[in-house]
Structure 1
């Protein structure tokens, strides 16, 4: 059963074939079309459809060449491709499958068969995507897990270096959480982790902001294209919102409710390279300083890594 309306890119140099497939599939899927190989590569890279129906014979480059280009591109290599062709040779089909195609349709189309095979392919794509999504999610809090953070942090560092942009790291730690667990029990402790995670997500709400559980009672926020002041202001907002939750914590020595400490640092936009590992270390030192200063506080520092030759 299709969970949501998926997008299919149809690539064929004959308008009538595009129209036939659009008429047959348009009530269930969003249909995009391209009549040349170069146009197909461009549309696929920009739109990232769930599935590509690709004719082998095109006016500029072959469907096989389009497939090679898409499978060599990080953005599009995961998109399944079904070749559509009037050719009947087994060798031709083998070439396509060896290039990474998922299936073959032959012309003229047998529409009931086309619909069934496309439905199966889309369901497989959606189920795979859901499994991948679950692999990146912390099972308790519902935010991203450490594995997901590590991957996206690495990508953000590459982006920042390439474009001379800034990223900010906020490391957050729930104050006296062990004492909370020891007194109230782990069930209550889990509830606190969930509430804190939801509150952090509500504060870090820009499309590219990432909130992840860093480990135990620690969370991390990754901000892309963020100044040091923006990172510090967000940290203070999160600190205040957690305190406003007023979750009782009689074992805290600094407050009657659950609080957090936060360390913040921001990379430089000068130069094309900085040390990603060092950026995390600086945020961790800021967090340690926040704890040393009595907790329930934010410590932020401008981060100016040494330029690399």
Structure 2
């Protein structure tokens, strides 16, 4: 698996694609599209690091493609460089107004193309690093609540196109205040970090997200997982946390740190709010804690309705 940046070349002339690919393929992964419609589909699938976009194409022209890219939450941050034979100021202004960051004129000059692409790929890498720092919980290294909310919004929008499953797991460390009172906050911080690591071992698919929701609560987002699959992950979380064997003499559950878990699963449909998964998972977490803690409760819900609640 490569960590090279991915460049999407969009041009209705195959010869132009071949020229630009030959210039870039030694340093980047290159994919291509020959129309505006195809470009939007490829961009959603590949999520490239940069797009080289022809201005004049049949059907949807480059200006319209760029506008649609910038309106898509998943694609808006991808830098767009227009490639065009229109060497006039009005065309450049129109392109920049549509959201492009630069222009490269045809016929392509290899040295100039390489320099422009390299500069903007590096700038995107730096922006991505800053963005990652802004959405990471400093103590645990997990995503923070802001990133959780962004991810839920993105996943529900994406999965609703095909009606796929989404599951959310809420995890709460049992009697954590008593743990802090007994051992002190530095020990409490170490406990949080160890539990976070256990969650990462249990929730390990590249499409999954694990976040610190606040205090001693965590949330796991599982795109594409139905109720049964999410229940398996929840049990793995309990087992991973139990294997830590962190002493907790004041716990009413047992001698070591345990967690209570709530799970909510549903098929994504248009207009369903991301907050529904959090609300239903939180309700199941409440039932788990009310039942004595160190329990897993789960539900399948349909839009605003609460479905079947089960105790695992």
Q: Counterpart in 2 of 1:130?
A: 129
Residue 81 of structure 2: SS of its match in structure 1? strand
Q: Counterpart in 2 of 1:300?
A: 298
Residue 50 of structure 1: CA displacement? 1.5
Residue 16 of structure 1: CA displacement? 4.4
Q: Counterpart in 2 of 1:49?
A: 48
What's the C-alpha RMSD, in Å, of the aligned pairs?
3.1
Residue 20 of structure 1: SS of its match in structure 2? helix
Q: Counterpart in 2 of 1:283?
A: 281
Residue 212 of structure 1: SS of its match in structure 2? strand
> Which of structures 1 and 2 has the bigger CA Rg?
1
Matches within 5 A, 1:1-309: 4-58=3-57, 62-158=61-157, 163-267=162-266, 269=267, 277=275, 279-301=277-299, 303=301
CA distance in 1, matches of 2:23, 2:268: 54
CA distance in 2, matches of 1:54, 1:178: 55
CA distance in 2, matches of 1:64, 1:84: 11
CA distance in 2, matches of 1:305, 1:23: 50
Q: Residues 140, 294 of structure 1: CA spacing in aligned structure 2 closer, same or farther, 3 A cutoff?
A: same
CA distance in 2, matches of 1:101, 1:5: 22
CA distance in 2, matches of 1:274, 1:287: 21
CA distance in 2, matches of 1:161, 1:35: 28
CA deviations on 1:277-297 (whole Å, 9 max, x unpaired) are 555344334323333333222
Count the aligned residue pairs.
305
Contiguous gaps of at least 5 residues in structure 2: 306-312
Residue 116 of structure 1: SS of its match in structure 2? helix
Residue 36 of structure 1: CA displacement? 4.0
Q: Residues 15, 185 of structure 1: CA spacing in aligned structure 2 closer, same or farther, 3 A cutoff?
A: same
CA distance in 2, matches of 1:32, 1:63: 17
CA distance in 2, matches of 1:278, 1:206: 23
Residue 264 of structure 2: SS of its match in structure 1? strand
Q: Residues 135, 11 of structure 1: CA spacing in aligned structure 2 closer, same or farther, 3 A cutoff?
A: same
CA distance in 1, matches of 2:107, 2:161: 48
Contact 2:263/2:296 (<8 A) preserved: yes
CA distance in 2, matches of 1:251, 1:128: 45
CA distance in 1, matches of 2:269, 2:99: 39
Q: Counterpart in 1 of 2:309?
A: none
